[in-house]
Structures are given as C-alpha cells and as structure tokens.
Structure 1
Amino acid sequence: MATEADSSSDEIDWRSEASSVEVTRRERLNEFYRKRLYEPGLIAWSDMRTRIGLSILSVYIAMAVAAVFGLWRNPSPNQAERLLAPFQTIQYPLGTTQSGVDLLALMIDSTPFILLMVLAGGVWATSLAVVVGTVSGYKGGAVDSAITSISDFVMAIPGLPLVIVLAITLSPENPIFLGVVLTINYWAGLGRSIRSQVLSIRQKSYVEASRTMGTSTPRIILKDILPNIMPYVMVNFVLAARYTIFASVGLYFIGVLPYTGQNWGVTLNNAYNQGGLFTFQALHWLLVPIVTIVGLTFALVLISQGMDRIFNPRVRTRLTGESETVTEENESATTESM
C-alpha cells in the first residue's frame, strides 16, 4: 500500500511539474508576443507618419495582388480610346496612351516587379552593410583593417558606370537579381557609416560589462549593438530602396535594361518619345508613372520615420502602458536623496 501511495504521489508531482513547464512555455510565448509584436506595433501605429505610410504602401500591395491574380484588365491597345485624359471615363480612370493602353493597367501590371526589385535591393545593400559594419567596428584590429580596405576599394569604383556595364552584360530580367545588380556596391559606403556608429557604441559601459562577463561576440552584437543602430539602419534601408527605384527607372528610361513586359521606366520612355513632354494632350501619360514613383518613395520615407519611434526607449515606456509619473517620481526621489 505504501508503494502504491508513493507511486501515485510521484505521478502527481510529475504532472504538476509538467503543468508548470507548460505554463512557463505559454508565458514565454506571451512575453515574446508582447515584446516583439504587440509593443512595436502599438508604438509604430501611434505615429501619424506610420499610418499614412502604411496606407499608401497598402495601395501598392493591393495593386501587386491584383496584377498577380489577374483582378484587373491586361494592358492591351485599343485604338478607339487613344490619349484619353484622366478621370474622363470610369473605364480608364488614369487615361490612356497613344495606342489606347489603360495607364492604370500599366501601373498595376508593373507593380509586382518593382516591389520585388526594391525589396531585393534594399535587403541586399542594408544586410551586407550591417554585417560588414558591425563586425569591422566591433572586432577591430586586423579584421577591421581588412574589411575597411575592401570597402574602400569597392567605394572607389564609380557606381553608375559599374551598374550600366553589368546591366548591359548580364541583361537581368529577374527582379530580385536586378535589385542586387543595381545596389552591387551601395553597401560599401553604408558599411563604413555603420562601422563609425559601432566604434562609438562599443566603448559604452554596458558593452564593456557584457564583454567582462564573458558574453559571446554574436550575442553582444545582437543584444547591445544592433538595437542602438537600428534607427540608422532603417533610414538607410529606405534610402537604398529609393535608390533602387530611381536607378531602375532611369536605366529603363535610357534603354540600358531590357524591356521585359511593362515597367514604370518603360512607360516614361514611351511617353517622352511620343510627345508626352511637349503636348498637353499627352502630359498625363508622363505624369502618371512619375506620381506612382513618388508615391511609393514617399510611403517608404514615412514608414522609416515612424519606425524610428520603436527604438526610442522613452516612447516605448510611455505608449506600452507604463506610467511616466512613476518614473518621474523615482527620478525626483533619487535627485533629492543625492
């Protein structure tokens, strides 16, 4: 009887231990959701710039979805509807081209390609610059010298001629590959800038404390250094994305990149060659792709400015439900005691 009682008590202890482990895992998931998703989302959404930027960007995403799933008409010529002005008919809200192609259909058809290209270019340039800059700035010594020498060499190569030569040689048609080609050496200057940021951060007391405690280098970079440079990285990601948009449109406009399907730069080229800059009747043909390009760039800039608040500890404390008055009282009490 004693053995059975002992076994039952052991089973109860095992179940209680398992339940406590389960609760701990649930708490960890809740904490991860609160810290990584809910609080950043709350802070970002509290900024008007973020809301406006996301609203504009959602329009472009909806255009890309419509193009991928064929929810809008294909951009096909219609000689009976040539050079219609914007908002003249419901069927062609942005007007038509010289050959009667719906300009709205042209913009929608080009959007998935542009978004993929912009994302690839921004991620490539920013990610490589962050890796190069943080490792170079934190490690120092021979590693810093070697990485800095490589960055200086890449920076010495003229960017635009290099991109033109690569575009003519490779004729990239894949949007992801094209985004990488357009920002092939963009990372070097950004990497040097991030290195300068890291050199100042690595002298901070909390980084020295982590190093003294024997914390590994990857953990110090992830926990102590990257959060402090993320606002700068986000802004430069937007700059890299904007550079990708402008470079691609410019190269498509001058005919360096291959005309694969429709593109905002191709539309600009066709409008310019067929009098869009000189005749008022065709002016909308030139303005529609320009406004589309500016709108996407403006949305990215607004989002980057709003995302800067996520990494501000004062804003995070105020907007995630913690009391500022308690903090102020603690600060005043500390001052009085001193």
Structure 2
Amino acid sequence: MATEADSSSSSDDIDWRSESSSVEMSRRDRLEEFYRHSVYEPAAVAWSDRRTRIGIVILSVYLLMALVEILGLWRDPSPSQAERLLPPFQNWAYPLGTTQSGVDLLALIIDSTPFILLMVLAGGVWATGIAVLVGTVSGYKGGAIDTVITSVSDFFMAIPGLPLVIILAITFSPENPIFLGMILTINYWAGLGRSIRSQVLSIREASYVEAARTMGTGTSRIILKDVLPNIMPYVMVNFVLAARYTIFASVGLYFIGVLPYTGQNWGVTLNNAYNQGGLFTMQALHWLLVPIVAIVGLAFGLILVSQGMDRIFNPRVRTRLTGESESVDEEGENESTSTWV
C-alpha cells in the first residue's frame, strides 16, 4: 500500500512538473511568436527595401542633430568672430558657412531640429489619428452615426484651411511645437477621414468581416483585427503627407512672419537670408540654400520610409521575404512528387 501511494504521489509530481513546463514553454512560444511577427519580420521586410534603408539613414541624421542639440554638443547660434558670409566647406569649424552676422549655419539648423521634429510628429499624429477614428467608425457603423460624422467632416472641409490656420496662429501665437503642429493640421483630417471611410465601406462587406460578425465578434475587435490592417498602408502614406504638409506650412508661415520669431527656425533662417539678399547675390546664396536642403531632406526621408510601409503591411511580401512561402512551396513540391511516385 505504501509503495502504491508513493508511486501515485511521484506520478502526480511528474504530471505537475510536465504541466508547469508546458505552461512555461507556451509562454516562451508566445513571446517568440510576438517577437517574430511584430519585430523581426517588419524589420526584415523594411530593411530589404533600398528606399526604406535610405529613408531611415536620412531620418537618423535628423534624429542625431536633435540629440546633439538636446545634449548641447554644438555651439549656440549666436554671432561670433567668424568671417561673415563664409562659404560652406572652407572652414571646417563652420562646415555649412556663416550668415551676415557671422552665425554658424549648422548651429542654426541643429538648433531648430528638435522643435521641427516634434511639430511634424504632432501634426502627423493629430491629422491621421482623428481621420482614422472618424473614417473607420463612420464607414463601419453606418446609419445615423455615419450621417453625423460625415456632416461634421463636410463642415470642416468647407472651411478654407490656410486662412483658418493664419487666424489661429495670430490669435494664439503658439510657441509649443506640439500645439503648433495641431493648429497647422486643424482641419487636414476631414478629407483624409472621408477617404478612409470609403475604403472601410468596401472592407466591411468582405467575407471574413461578415464571418466575424456572424460569430458574434465585437465591433472594436473587428475594426482592430480586420479593418485597420487593410488600410494601414494608406494611413501611413497619408501620415507622411500630413507630416510633409506640416513642415511646409510652418516654414511658410515663419517666412511671412505670421508665427512668432521665438528662437530659430528654418523658416526664420529663410526669411533672414531673403531679406539680406540671399536670392540675388552669390555671396549669400548658401545662406538661403542650407535651410532649403534641410527642409527638402526631411520631407524626402519621410517619403522614402512611407514607401516601405506597404511592404511591411502586405502579408504576401512579409511571408515571401521571411522565407515562409518558400518552405510552403517546397512542402507542396515534395507532396506532389511523392504522389506521382
């Protein structure tokens, strides 16, 4: 009897250990699966595209400049004893040259970079975030909700964007980059929301969405799992377009003097260069070109990265580039060969 009890207890211990090990393995498998699908595969797909690699390198340069400014590793943009209107690449202490006052142009660009990046991120997130929320809910729910949301979107689309932004900029004189980014894209979301709504209208009639509704899946889960992944390439491209619009709008408003001249900005630098004859004299031409190159470079980097987003969200491309499709094809070939034999 004692031996039977001991053997039963030992078998129970073995079962408990095997169950605990299986639980641990399942957790480990879930973590590995999450890493593979959410980190490794998107990174591998993005890095396989040359455009995305170039865009990441360009954006990394701007992030590095922002880090340099935050850590204070470069000189402040203030008048110095340097030669005035020094051309670029002649004195490596001032690699991009100097202004009429002897200010380092590289210091001006670096000083503006954190402000610009925060403003661009805020404008892009605000515009696309509101548009995705409005477009998906309106397109999927339909009915009275769709009518109300569409009417509000039409109202904001009817308001001229630039005059509204100018009035708000003069009224609030925003100095916070996040608040400024939201003002610049105050009604940008309306047109994008209508475009997203039209795409969701076609997606909600798909067979897999109908099957999910039949199984009793909640609305929020269907939108997150079935609708959003199908429109994410379009959303990411429009996020970049909103960010680019924020850059150009802010620089233009700084250039014409609508936004306050607090600190340095690429638009302020352009304005000063233009007023000092940068458009008409070769000696000051670099003063005008340096902020233009900074503006165009940031917009170009964002566009290149956005072009790789479609590859990340496209499941066929992800499976092909991560090798899963090849393994499936090989298994299919083996099965057909064995059947033929």
- RMSD between superposed Cα atoms in Å: 1.7
* Contact 1:50–1:303 (Cα < 8 Å) also in 2: yes
Counterpart in the other structure of 1:104: 106
Counterpart in the other structure of 1:189: 191
1:263 and 2:265 correspond: yes
- Residue identity matched to 2:293: V
* Contact 1:275–1:282 (Cα < 8 Å) also in 2: yes
Aligned counterpart for 1:279 among listed residues 278, 281, 285: 281
* Contact 1:79–1:99 (Cα < 8 Å) also in 2: no
How far the C-alpha of 1:65 sits from its partner, in A, is 0.3
For the residue of structure 1 that corresponds to 2:324, the secondary structure is coil
Aligned length: 332
Counterpart in the other structure of 1:22: 24
Query: Take 2:17 and 2:256, find their aligned partners in 1: how far apart are those partners?
Result: 72
CA shift digits 1:12-64 (9 cap, x unpaired): 33232222111111100000000011011101110000000001110000000
| Structure 1: runs of 5+ lacking an equivalent | 334-338
Counterpart in the other structure of 2:298: 296
Counterpart in the other structure of 2:176: 174
Counterpart in the other structure of 2:52: 50
Aligned counterpart for 2:154 among listed residues 148, 152, 172: 152
How far the C-alpha of 1:324 sits from its partner, in A, is 4.1
CA shift digits 1:238-274 (9 cap, x unpaired): 0000000001101111111111111101100111111
CA 1:80–1:305: 2 relative to 1, 3 Å: closer
For the residue of structure 2 that corresponds to 1:81, the secondary structure is coil
Counterpart in the other structure of 2:245: 243
For the residue of structure 2 that corresponds to 1:57, the secondary structure is helix
- Residue identity matched to 1:218: S
Query: Take 1:170 and 1:18, find their aligned partners in 2: how far apart are those partners?
Result: 61
- Residue identity matched to 1:260: T
Query: Take 1:287 and 1:328, find their aligned partners in 2: how far apart are those partners?
Result: 55
How far the C-alpha of 1:9 sits from its partner, in A, is 3.7
CA 1:253–1:30: 2 relative to 1, 3 Å: same
Query: Take 1:46 and 1:252, find their aligned partners in 2: how far apart are those partners?
Result: 38
* Contact 1:107–1:264 (Cα < 8 Å) also in 2: yes
* Contact 2:82–2:98 (Cα < 8 Å) also in 1: no
- Residue identity matched to 1:82: R
| Structure 2: runs of 5+ lacking an equivalent | 337-341
How far the C-alpha of 1:68 sits from its partner, in A, is 0.3
For the residue of structure 2 that corresponds to 1:259, the secondary structure is coil
CA 1:183–1:89: 2 relative to 1, 3 Å: same
Moved more, 9-18 or 155-164: 9-18
Aligned counterpart for 1:118 among listed residues 117, 120, 129: 120
Counterpart in the other structure of 2:140: 138
Counterpart in the other structure of 2:34: 32
